[in-house]
Chain A
Amino acid sequence: MPIRFEVNGKQVTVEVEPRLTLADCLRQQLRLTGTHIGCDHGVCGACTVLVDGDAVRACLMLAVQAEGSKVVTVEGLSNDDGLTPLQKSFRKHHALQCGFCTPGFITTAHALLSEEPDCDADRIRDVLSGNICRCTGYISIVEAVLDARAAYKSNGGKP
């Protein structure tokens, strides 16, 4: 069935089977392969995207359920001028190694900092508890998010 939604600011129309997940639709049909699929059943967080501003697992949502919504993937969070403050902070703190989990952490942390630029380390740990990283040990990721708060705070929730 045909569905229409907005991805990273652009309207798209795609023809999908009902069983196609939003994650597969983004990757296979729209070629937005920044959204990674780790487990495909909701435990790792690698597939996190924003749907109408909320961080959600794209493997636990059908593409047909996105009809009419605004979807933002990790590609939509960067700009052409270089790294965003959150991305810069990940680099500075060595918050990634293989990078497989990183899109999920970036989208999740972006949603959090946009809404709660004053969050503390406990809140960050609680929110990131739904994302699995097999390389870094998390400490550097939490530090990167803590450090990126300033950029969101000074700009009213925008990085």
Chain B
Amino acid sequence: MKLPQFEYACPTTLHDAVALLAARAGDAKALAGGQSLMPMMAFRIAQPALLVDLRKLPGLREIKVSGDGVRLGAMVRWRDIEDDARLASAHPLLKAAIAHVAHYQIRNRGTVGGSLAHADPAAELPGIALTCEAEIAVMGKGGARTIKATDFFLGALTTALEADEIITELRLPPWPQERAKSRRWGFQEFARRRGDFAMAGVAAFYDLDNSNKAMNTHIGVIGIGDRPHRLPAVEAMLNGRAIDDASIERVAAATSAAVEPQDDIHASAAYRRALVGTLVERALTSAAA
């Protein structure tokens, strides 16, 4: 369907953008790449009276890599992440996950901020943000604040953002560089066609201690339930253990038992339960290789 009517504003400062959203609290929406919002409006799932285009806001397109970690400006596109050679070492897990996001043309427009705010349960970036314990920096009429990814995703398409708040940056904690070999990671997802939303996906990393045992294990899933989440019981099974075929097999079975997947038109709950176990197995196998 053609889009419903709305007003359009294209402010040049963050301050003005926030003021525009605040003045129409709840009835206005930020517009970034439009790759989720435009289809939502075509389907009348969203009908904002005002769109506030973020494209002229300065300073939101930068990817910063430093000892503090990786910072992705809200208007950084999937394409920019793909093209940034530094990220291969600065955050290989991020880079691997983003390779699965959408198709070529969509990757030229879709943004970090849009993906976080849209909060699709199967989206890769929210899964990475949550698994890596990232923080999301936002600006609203009350000023700036940061929200932990754990507190940000509240349900399908639902976040802790206030109606007048704009995401400015995603802050991922540093990925170890000096002992790079001791950080092991894997990302696996399954979609019928590459670029489509995954039926399920798994992001995993752990560090090896001096006796080659896993510690600091993080395992997050996407496409299961109404938001990305970690599997603390499964993580605990790996910490303090050597990662070998036997432990991977146990953990895969425990994952299938631990998750509470949903039925939908893409896959049944039983299928997703089996799938996520297989994906954990693959992710840990590639991590250990």
Task: List residues of A whose CB falls within 8 A of some B CB.
Answer: 1, 17-19, 21, 24, 40-42, 45, 48, 54-57, 59-62, 64-65, 67, 108, 111-112, 126-131
Out of A1, A57, A59, A130, name the residue touching B8 (CB < 8 Å): A1
Question: Range of interface residues on chain B?
Answer: 20 to 34
CB within 8 Å: A-B pair count: 89
User: Closest Cβ of chain B: how far from A139's Cβ, in Å?
Assistant: 16
Please classify the interface of chain A as helix (H, G, I), strand (E, B), loop, or mixed, using the class held by over half of its residues: mixed
The residues of A that contact B51 with a CB separation of less than 8 Å are: 18, 62
User: Closest Cβ of chain A: how far from B186's Cβ, in Å?
Assistant: 20
- Which residues in chain B, 1-48, are within 8 Å of chain A measured between CB atoms? 1-8, 10, 31, 33-35, 38-39, 42-43
Out of B10, B34, B79, name the residue touching A61 (CB < 8 Å): B34
| Contact present for A55 and B105 (CB under 8 Å) | yes
Please classify the interface of chain B as helix (H, G, I), strand (E, B), loop, or mixed, using the class held by over half of its residues: loop
Out of A19, A42, A64, A67, name the residue touching B4 (CB < 8 Å): A19
Complex: how many Å from CA A76 to CA B33? Answer: 24
Complex: how many Å from CA A108 to CA B10? Answer: 28
Complex: how many Å from CA A107 to CA B33? Answer: 20
| Contact present for A56 and B105 (CB under 8 Å) | yes
User: Closest Cβ of chain B: how far from A59's Cβ, in Å?
Assistant: 8
Complex: how many Å from CA A108 to CA B193? Answer: 18
Out of B2, B8, B79, name the residue touching A24 (CB < 8 Å): B2
Q: A55-B105, A129-B193 are in contact. Are A60 and B3 (CB under 8 A)?
A: no
